[in-house]
Amino acid sequence: MTKYFGKIGKEEITVEVEKNDDKLIVTSEKARFELAMRKVAPFHYSILHENKSFDLRFYDNQKIISLFSRGKEVSVEVEDMKSRARKLASGGGEKGVHVGEAILEAQMPGKIVSVKVKVGDEVVLGQGVVVVEAMKMENEMTSPKDGVVKLVAVKEGQSVESGTKLVVIE
């Protein structure tokens, strides 16, 4: 499951997306949708929900998603949790945008080089929490928000797969 942050006009939304075979499960604070999905072309999908067909396209390096239905278009600017954390840690964006629980996940298979926090530690936006070595490069995962470490799910030396939960911050 991957968490995304989106912006429709001035409204910000947070959604979790899970892909199972030809089904896409999208969960937001307000609703949960199970969508039948078929790839039409690169970055172009056909979606079926409650007997309604939607055309879904990704643009600008997959940072803009456009949903078309019955001649109407809704565009959403999106970014995944890693991109959001990197932007916030570098001083971009608005501080405190991340609300709720933050789950840091491995972005690719690798090995845990160091865990810099323990359960109960207070962390600040941009603080390093775990270092993952992947493809012979060390990547420091940083906190996307101020908070308290709720869970450390890995230990130094452990191998991880893409999507493995590393740390949870409240």
- In the chain, residues under CATH classification 2.40.50.100 are 100-169
Model confidence at 87, pLDDT cuts 50, 70, 90, reads low
H or E stretch including 87?
helix 81-89
Q: Which of the two residues, 159 and 7, has the higher pLDDT score?
A: 159
Highest mean pLDDT among 25-39, 65-79, 142-156: 142-156
The topology under which CATH files domain 100-169 is OB fold (Dihydrolipoamide Acetyltransferase, E2P) (2.40.50)
pLDDT for residue 96: 41
Is the pLDDT score of 57 beyond 90? no
Task: Give per-residue pLDDT as tens, 91-123.
Answer: 555 444 455 688 888 878 899 999 999 999 999
- In the chain, residues under CATH classification 3.30.700.30 are 2-80
- Mean pLDDT of the 18-27 span: 80
Question: Which numeric CATH code is attached to 2-80?
Answer: 3.30.700.30
- Mean pLDDT of the 41-51 span: 81
Task: Give per-residue pLDDT as tens, 134-153.
Answer: 878 888 888 878 889 999 99
